[in-house]
Amino acid sequence: MNALPWLIITPLFGAFSMPILGLLGRKVREYWAVIISGFTFAIAARIFYSIWRSNEILLYTLGDVSPIGEGVKFPIRIIWEVDLFGALLALTVAFVSFLAIVYSLGYMKEDSGLDKYYTLVLVLELGMLGIVITGDIFNFYVFIEIMSIASYVLVAFRNDTWEGIEAGIKYMFVGSLASSFILLGIALLYGQYGTLTMAYLAVKIAENPTLVSRVALAFLIGGLLFKSGAVPVHMWLSDAHPAAPSSISAMLSGLVIKVGGVYAIARIIFGIFNPGLHEYLKVFGAPSIGVNTLGWAIIFFGCLTLIVGNAMAVIQTDMKRLFAFSSVGQIGYILLGIGIGVVAYGEKAGEIALTGAVYHIVNHAVIKALLFFVAGAVIHQVGTKNLNELSGLARRMPFTTLSFLIGAAAIIGLPPLNGFASKWLIYESSAMYNPILAVIAVIGTVFSLAAYTRVLFTFLGIESERVKTAREPGKTMLIPMLLLMLVIILMGLLPWQINEKVMLPVAKMLEQLKGEYIMALVKFVGGV
Amino acid sequence: MKTTFGALSLLFMLGVLLVVANPNYGLQFGLGGEEWQKYRYTDQYYIDHGVEEVGGTNIVTDIVFDYRGYDTLGEATVLFTSIAGAIALLRKWREEE
């Protein structure tokens, strides 16, 4: 039996049944959310495993056995096209969302309106899963909207705090603008090419790369850079992440900016505007899209992002704001990896960079979720996130401090932890491609090191009045942190094995040197 | 400074979109005949096969509920989310402890 539809059905059913089951009381509601998200995680793991083992792109047509219409040669239905990259992201999304929901049981205990909260968290998870599995560009937009609307609300969920509402409004205005850019891009593509299926759009664009397709690409990438929090347009992120409840910050920072931003950029570049296809066209002197320009634009924004994001993290006094800026910085590394993957397409450096970018997406999702869980535990137990008031937390909250230590060491990229391998791949490839890029990447890491060392010293300092009465949080908050720590350490102990067995195939399938993404669809046509 | 830059980039975007909307360089409007087949082949398919494949005589509902029913499900979810969100954000503030 094909498990793929259940990846959408389960959270959708969970979210839509929550208002009714919520009537049965608080405990039922919480157990239901945990069960649904746990089940989704199991399904995602199964899908990932089956795709990883067969190493083939899974194509599923909604409503028919074949996406191709009767007697014609083009797709007429919505398809899901899941390659390893999509499946890996689905797995990460389901894992972190599950832990965030378990964490919310303890963390959100004092808040009101929790039936809506769990509904919205499940919808957020649904939106992200929908984005990573879809193969249809309008459907991609619909799920980006689902994800965005749920996250606008969750950022402003604490409606009695001024910062929540302010950040929510800012996020909503910026996010809606970005969404409308994306929709405009899609409308232009449809007007020019008459199809919405990504793989078929790739064929059509390669046949006739017009000005319209370039403009549409610019709008799509521009909108998605907003969503991923790249530097000139990162201001919403640094407000939204600190203001949201910490369980939500973990999901926003670990997942939303990756799935709605970086994943989508990579998918649109490699799936629709495949660099290989256009390089090939160029060889024959046919009109093609200059993917090098695109790659350099992404590298430029990546470098800007990793310098500014990490540098701004150093001067923050608010712990969650610091983590938010650090997220901006880490997005810079991922963009740098993707950018090099585009400009050095088909070369060794490009493949390593893409592997590093994919690896870093997963690593950063896990690490940043842990760090925001730590911040949440501190806020929940001590009641402040101002770093100047938090000194000497290590004696009162040793487990939380240990989690922070591991998370911080991993995000800087210290060798026994998982951040090392992914950053190493990005450094290595940028050094191979252009040493200046490697220097910029290392400067970013130096800033990041400075920022986290500062927080660490705060944790280890002399005990302040404020923390004297602090205690460790409850089990539901500690267990997700423990699990994330274990994942970080385990992934850190087997970095090159994971790279070899998982990340390299993922990057290869994303890069699709032979146009596998298109072929998965085209093979249904038969004889073409 | 910022406002000027913003206004200039908006102007630039408007210019680009006007070029794109010009039939000599970009999108075609009022398609017919051969061009209809070239640019709107999917639509033609829905018109030709909608009635027999789906059964409804209204093409739009055929597309929205059958061929692209999953998008409609997504739109319903968007609506559901917005309502849940509006209710969640307009709830009473927590009591002071």
For A135-198, give the DSSP string: -BHHHHHHHHHHHHHHHHHHHT--TTSHHHHHHHHHHHHHHHHHHHHHHHHHHHHHHHH---BH
Sorted by sequence, the CB contacts under 8 Å of residue B71 that are 6+ apart come out as: A78, A138, A139, A142, B64
Of B40, B45, B89, the CB nearest to A159: B89
Count of Cβ atoms closer than 10 Å to residue B30 Cβ = 7
What residue ranges of chain A have pLDDT lower than 50?
527-528
Best of A61, A108, A119 to substitute, by most chain B Cβ atoms within 10 angstroms, is A119
Q: Which of A42, A136, A32 is nearest to A91 (CA)?
A: A42
What's the mean per-residue pLDDT of chain B? 90
Cβ contacts (< 8 Å) between B73 and chain A: which residues?
A: 12
Positive or negative, the Cα torsion across A254, A157, A387, A377?
negative
Structure tokens at A528: 């073409």
Residue percentage of chain A with pLDDT more than 70: 99
Q: Which residues partner with B18 through β-bridges? A: none
Give A 83-142 residues with CB within 8 A of chain B: 110-113, 116-117, 119-120, 123, 126-127, 130, 138-139, 142
- Rounded Cα distance between B40 and B37, Å, is 6
- Contact yes or no for B74 and A142 at CB 8 A: yes
Cβ contacts (< 8 Å) between A145 and chain B: which residues?
A: 74, 78
Count of Cβ atoms closer than 10 Å to residue A471 Cβ = 9
Give A 152-211 residues with CB within 8 A of chain B: 152-153, 156-157, 159-160, 168, 188, 191-196, 210-211
Q: For residue B17, what pLDDT is reported?
A: 92
Closest residue in A to B48 (Cα–Cα): A70
CA triplet A257, A304, A506: central angle to 5 degrees? 45
**DSSP one-letter string for chain B:** -HHHHHHHHHHHHHHHHHHHTSTTTS---S--THHHHHH-HHHHHHHHHHHHHH--S-HHHHIIIIITHHHHHHHHHHHHHHHHHHHHHTSPPPPP-
Burial tier of A182 (Cβ tally within 10 Å: 0-12, 13-18, 19+): buried
* Residue A161 φ then ψ, to 5°: -110, 140
Q: For residue A526, what pLDDT is reported?
A: 66
Cβ contacts (< 8 Å) between A63 and chain B: which residues?
A: 66-67, 69
Count of Cβ atoms closer than 10 Å to residue A53 Cβ = 8
Q: For residue A528, what pLDDT is reported?
A: 45
Q: Does the beta carbon of A70 lie under 8 angstroms from any beta carbon of chain B? A: yes
Closest residue in A to B43 (Cα–Cα): A194
- Rounded Cα distance between A128 and A144, Å, is 7
- Contact yes or no for B45 and A69 at CB 8 A: yes
Q: For residue A327, what pLDDT is reported?
A: 93
As a whole number of Å, the end-to-end CA separation of chain B is 47
Closest residue in B to A124 (Cα–Cα): B81
Cβ contacts (< 8 Å) between B34 and chain A: which residues?
A: none
Kindly report the nearest CA distance between residue B72 and chain A, in angstroms. 9
The interface predicted TM-score of the complex, written ipTM, equals 0.94
Q: Kindly report, residue by residue over B71-88, the tens digit of the pLDDT.
A: 999 999 999 999 999 999
Q: Kindly report, residue by residue over A271-308, the tens digit of the pLDDT.
A: 898 888 887 888 887 788 878 888 999 999 999 999 99
Q: Position A275: which residue type?
A: P
Closest residue in B to A145 (Cα–Cα): B78
* Residue A76 φ then ψ, to 5°: -120, -10
Count of Cβ atoms closer than 10 Å to residue A525 Cβ = 15
Those residues of chain B whose CB sits closer than 8 Å to some CB in chain A are 16-17, 19-20, 25-27, 38-43, 45-46, 49, 53, 66-71, 73-75, 77-78, 80-82, 84-85, 87-94
Q: For residue B96, what pLDDT is reported?
A: 62
Q: Kindly report, residue by residue over B50-66, the tens digit of the pLDDT.
A: 898 888 889 999 999 99
Count of Cβ atoms closer than 10 Å to residue A65 Cβ = 8
CA quadruple A167, A169, A174, A179: dihedral, nearest 10: 120
Q: For residue A172, what pLDDT is reported?
A: 93
- Rounded Cα distance between A351 and A345, Å, is 7
- Rounded Cα distance between A42 and A476, Å, is 20
